[in-house]
Amino acid sequence: MSLIEEIRQAVIVGDAPDAKAKVEQALNDNLTADTVLREGLIDAMREVGQLFEEGDFFVPEMLIAARAMKGALDLLKPHLVEEGVEPLGKVAIGTVKGDLHDIGKSLVAMMMEGAGFELVDLGVDVSPDKFISVIQDGADIVAMSALLTTTMPNMKLIIEEIEAAGLREQVVVMVGGAPVTQAFADQIGADGYAADASSAARKAQELIGR
């Protein structure tokens, strides 16, 4: 088995120490950080997403794999910067105002990071102002999560505030969360909706044209 394949397997099974050790070994063997990222980590997370969609993986397995990917990615980041590898785009993600649920949102963030995006996690109970300021700081995608039917309307409010600030044209807006549907996303004028973390990462790539 090649070293890249060993990295992929370590991430898929969620063995964080092994994933880190193998990434270190790959860098010592002069493999480029870009190769390790794309053929090792990103490809592993693509497979994890597929296993989740096919019902072979559940949320815990996906979380464990995403943590292994994150640990390995932290190790890789300085090398990626050195090599001048550009992320696919910058995603600002947060759970909307009034809502404290963050497990699904964090999973979406990890899958998007695994897909090659730079992530700014705004946390929970995020006000429209915070979303606006992160767009002004260059976010390409605003990703909003809501788990309560009572906080879903805040997604519409945030889109309206983005419009009022004259920033709507320069950002892609994605929404999701258990009570959110494609019909709701269309109704409030979001650009994209995804039902789960793995399709959210794919949708983000699609929306940004990669």
Among 19, 64, 107, 119, binds ligand B1M (CB under 6 A): 107
Among 23, 69, 197, 201, binds ligand B1M (CB under 6 A): 197
Residue position matching structure tokens 């910058």: 90
Among 157, 178, 207, 208, binds ligand B1M (CB under 6 A): 178
Q: Does residue 108 bind ligand B1M (CB under 6 A)?
A: yes
Q: How far is the CB of 133 from ligand B1M (least distance, A)?
A: 18
Residue 148's Cβ-count burial label (10 Å; 0-12, 13-18, 19+) is: middle
Q: How far is the CB of 152 from ligand B1M (least distance, A)?
A: 8
Residue 93 φ then ψ, to 5°: -120, 145
3-state helix, strand, coil in the chain (%, to 5): 60, 15, 30
DSSP string, 114-166: HTT-EEEEEEEEE-HHHHHHHHHTT-SEEEEE--STTTTHHHHHHHHHHHHTT
Q: Which stretch binds ligand B1M (CB under 6 A): 20-28, 66-74, 144-152, 153-161?
A: 144-152
Q: Which stretch binds ligand B1M (CB under 6 A): 35-43, 69-77, 105-113, 156-164?
A: 105-113
Nearer to ligand B1M, 89 or 177 (CB): 177
Among 7, 33, 89, 145, binds ligand B1M (CB under 6 A): 145
Q: Which of 25, 48, 195, 178 is nearest to 115 (CA)?
A: 48
Specify the 3-state DSSP secondary structure of 61: helix
Q: Does residue 143 bind ligand B1M (CB under 6 A)?
A: yes
Among 122, 134, 177, 185, binds ligand B1M (CB under 6 A): 177
Q: Does residue 175 bind ligand B1M (CB under 6 A)?
A: yes
Nearer to ligand B1M, 2 or 149 (CB): 149
Strands (E), 160-209: 172-176, 192-193
Q: Which stretch binds ligand B1M (CB under 6 A): 8-16, 28-36, 41-49, 168-176?
A: 168-176
Residue 5 φ then ψ, to 5°: -65, -35
